[in-house]
């Protein structure tokens, strides 16, 4: 169980509520890799989409996630609506991470948030619009999300030998420590170059 520490300070007075603000990073792949693999299996076995076509839609879904990651980080996570309620909204959505970036239990999204969004919004809309190839697309989108969340954790807590990951970490640390909002890509920097937020 994960309770408050100097690196992971309390947000709520209630132990019960505060507990649900923390999650171990491995929870994300434990939940989302099987969901993604199930999407591929359903696409091939039940929706009748060939494996090569399913994998093509998987790749498209993964790329779509990278764009969603960029825009969510840029437009939603760094949006502060007016008033006290707006400040509170921003704090819980993303401000907590910028206030305590070394908090290893608040670097990935809690399951009650990401699973709710998947099963209540993203999944139903995808499968309503595209009941056949949507399974492959959804599997890729989910895997993209898993890659983003785990990459974000390791950027903050791993010591990389790879030049690529050292650059990715420097990119994200610049986002954290630069007074000018920029560099919103976390698992990839591509969209920052496309939309002019890399410098």
Closest C-alpha among 95, 69, 98, 88 to residue 192:
69
Domain contains 17: no
pLDDT tens-place string over residues 134-185:
999 999 999 999 999 999 888 888 888 889 989 998 888 888 777 777 888 9
For range 103-130, the mean pLDDT: 84
For residue 117, is it within any domain? yes
Residue 11 domain-assigned (yes or no): no
Which residue range is the domain that position 180 belongs to? Answer: 32-195
Q: Are 135 and 47 in contact (CB under 8 A)?
A: yes
Q: How does DSSP assign 158-173, residue by residue?
A: ----SHHHHHHHHHHH
In a domain, residue 85? The reply is: yes
Structure-token pair, residue 30: 């434990």
């Amino acid at each position: 169980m994960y309770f408050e520490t100097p690196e992971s300070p309390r947000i709520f007075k209630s132990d019960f509520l505060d507990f649900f603000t923390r999650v171990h990073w491995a929870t994300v792949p434990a939940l989302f890799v099987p969901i993604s693999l199930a999407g591929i299996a359903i696409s091939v076995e039940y929706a009748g989409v060939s494996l090569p076509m399913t994998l093509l839609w998987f790749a498209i879904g993964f790329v779509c996630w990278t764009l969603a990651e960029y825009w969510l980080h840029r437009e939603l996570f760094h949006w502060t609506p007016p008033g006290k309620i707006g400040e509170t909204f921003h704090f819980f959505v993303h401000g907590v991470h910028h206030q305590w970036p070394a908090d290893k239990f608040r670097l990935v999204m809690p399951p009650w948030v990401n699973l709710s969004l998947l099963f209540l919004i993203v999944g139903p809309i995808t499968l309503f619009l595209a009941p056949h190839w949507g399974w492959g697309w959804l599997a890729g989108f989910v895997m993209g999300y898993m890659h983003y969340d785990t990459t974000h954790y390791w950027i903050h807590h791993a010591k990389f030998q790879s030049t690529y990951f050292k650059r990715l970490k420097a990119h994200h640390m610049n986002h954290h420590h630069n007074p000018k909002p920029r560099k919103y890509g976390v698992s990839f920097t591509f969209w920052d170059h496309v939309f002019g937020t890399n410098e």
